[in-house]
Structure 1
């Protein structure tokens, strides 16, 4: 997504002079272009939070402005990745934006842009250069939910180099320790063992299915035990009808 250009405002209304609650900055990001974009961003966030539910030293979000002006001004030098992850920070979900000079100079470790007709050129060009040369973000990916175009780059000696796809067409993110790949027309995470990282809803459904399978197996075992008991009782009754006491040794 493109970031909002600075707007003409009077000196007394300069954005960098506005005092927000608790010193926070609000995100300047425009609305998402389609429901596909929204769902894709949400699934990236949900799945990572589910996979990392025991971690609290990262921040993952989407459609949030990153302010990185060396002059520490909100009115200049800002970008809004569709999805990004910062490692080695706090898992504070109350952030309204990512202000580099308030976050110890940290930039994202991973950025993913969701391409659209209006943003693709910038995502492939201008933003890629900024993420490479200014942010120094180690892993950068883009994905088009319509055409399914998917590419990834990793920073090697200061330059983005294409990530070689796996046999499945997945791209490895060293920063996340996960693959990114297309599953049912969505960009999803996969473990190093090739397992799909589930959403919380998928995990709940899977747990219910496994519980039902266990219940069915237990019921089958109970029925088999009951059948064995009935066969034993029938055999005993048959022997007694022949005058044989099955309890005699």
Structure 2
């Protein structure tokens, strides 16, 4: 039986199928390189920071998605590099077990291409995400060649997304853009602002604090300078009044 046939499953298994326990550990191999790992962490950290006040999503990567009893017999299919599920509880998981998650599949999937996975990511996995997962949006990104494409499920078929002038692709599911910045795949807000990493956000906050401190110091210096000018003007007025008083004592009132 071919792998594609082995992975084709209906949305729900027949009632007489006994599913394995839901407490299944992820069984994914290590990522291809440090480049792939850093890209994966970048996507996870940025989205979790951007949605830090939300508790209705799950975003992770290199994690096995268990969705079929037949799938458990196959060592060939591997989970997505990065995926997001909406409308679910935000909590740690050992794996994503569809029949323990109200039948939910990812809303968004991103594959990070490599020499060994690119053919599968562009072909078989795209077919599985379209026909079995029915994932609304699928993206892939090659961190070496910077190839970047995205697809939206329309009428049961993936249609390629068109980029904006910046080369970014709009994710309707996330309500964010995905695009390349400094050779990394990043998220952007609807108005085009780069969504920061925790480190970038902390650095920006520190910069804002330093700027606010500098502005406060400048305002204090201006206030001190204004006070000194007022004191100097007062002193000049006092000295002038003293001079006029001495003049009057010697010569009388000034002529009109």
User: What TM-score, normalized by structure 2, do the two folds share?
Assistant: 0.83
Preserved CA contact (<8 Å) 1:143 1:149:
yes
1:235 corresponding residue in structure 2: 233
Q: For residues 242 and 73 of structure 1, what CA distance do their matches in structure 2 show?
A: 98
Q: Which of the two has higher C-alpha Rg?
A: 2
Aligned pairs, how many? 227
Shift of 1:98: 1.0
TM-score when normalising by structure 1: 0.86
Distance 1:144 1:67 in 2: 26
Runs of at least 5 residues in structure 1 that lack an aligned partner in the other structure: 1-16
Q: Give the ranges of 4+ consecutive aligned residues of structure 1 lying more than 3 Å apart after TM superposition.
A: 76-79
**Could you say what secondary structure the match of 1:32 adopts?**
coil
Gaps of 5+ in 2: 1-17, 244-256
CA offset digits 1:62-87 (Å, max 9, x no partner): 00011121x47622495310000111
1:244 deviates by 6.1
Q: The residue matched to 2:72 in structure 1 has which SS?
A: coil
Cα distance between partner residues in 1 of 2:99 and 2:119: 29
Look up the match of 1:191: 189
Q: Tell me how far apart the structure 2 counterparts of residues 121 and 195 of structure 1 sit (CA, whole Å).
A: 33
Structure 1 stretch 223-232 or stretch 97-106: which is displaced more?
97-106
Shift in Å, 1:131: 0.5
**1:148 alignment partner, one of 119, 143, 146:** 146
Deviations 1:17-58 (A, max 9, x none): 9x87xx511111111111010011001111111111111111
1:166 CA displacement: 1.0
Corresponding position: 1:117 with 2:109 = no
